[in-house]
Amino acid sequence: MLINELTPDDCFKVLERTSLARLACARNDQPYVVPVHVSFDAERRCVYGFSAIGQKIDWMRSNPKVCLEVEDISDKDHWTTIIINGRYEEIHHDPEEATARRRAERLFRQRPEWWFPAAAKPGAREPQDVVVYRIKIERISGRRAAREGSRG
C-alpha cells in the first residue's frame, strides 16, 4: 500500500467535497470527540458549523483549541484523511459579524437538510438556541492511501 502526504491545497480540495467531520475538543484534560456537519469556506480558509448549545459548545467556549478529522474512504485500500488544528470562534448576531453569518448560512444551504441534526437536542420538544461558529484553520495535513497497482 502506498501512503502519500497531501499538500495543503490537496487537503482543501477534500474539504470542498465533504461535509461530515469529527470534532475533538478538550476540557480539564478530558478529550471529547463528536461527529459534526461542516461547510468549508475556501476563500476565508475556515470551516463553519452550528449546533444547539450543549457539551461541545460549552467545552469549546472554555478551550477554543480544537481538532477536526475529515475522511474520504472508498475501501480499506483507498482512503484519504485530513487533520485540521484550529481555533473555535462563535459568530454572534452582532452587526459586525453579519457578513460572516450570511456567508456561513449560504454555505450551509448548499447541503440538503443542512439544519439536521445539529439544530435538535435528543428529547427536546422545543426549538433550541443554535450557535453558529467557525473554526479558523491554523494547521492542516492529510494522507492518501492506495493499493499498489490499483486505481486510486
The range of the structural domain enclosing residue 92 comes to: 2-146
Given a cut of 70, whether residue 127 has pLDDT beyond it is no
Which carries the bigger pLDDT value, residue 149 or residue 8? 8
* Residue/partner pairs of 15-21 with CB below 8 Å, 24 or more apart: 15/40, 15/42, 15/47, 15/70, 15/82, 16/40, 16/42, 17/72, 18/70, 18/71, 18/72, 19/111, 20/70, 21/47, 21/68, 21/69, 21/70
Per-residue pLDDT averaged across 52-72, rounded? Answer: 96
Count of domains observed in the chain: 1
Q: What integer pLDDT is reported at residue 8 of this predicted model?
A: 97
Given a cut of 70, whether residue 114 has pLDDT beyond it is no
What does the DSSP 8-state code read for residue 120? -
In a domain, 80, yes or no: yes
In a domain, 151, yes or no: no
| pTM (global) more than 0.85 | no
Measure the CA–CA gap between 57 and 114, rounded to whole angstroms: 19
- Which position has the grid cell 468549508? 40
In a domain, 79, yes or no: yes
At residue 109 the predicted structure's pLDDT band, cuts being 50, 70 and 90, is confident
- Least confident segment among 52-61, 107-116, 128-137: 107-116
Three-state DSSP class for residue 57: helix
How many residues would you count in the chain?
Answer: 152
For residue 133, the domain's CATH number is 2.30.110.10
Please write the tens of the pLDDT for every residue from 9-24.
999 999 999 889 999 9
Q: What integer pLDDT is reported at residue 98 of this predicted model?
A: 82
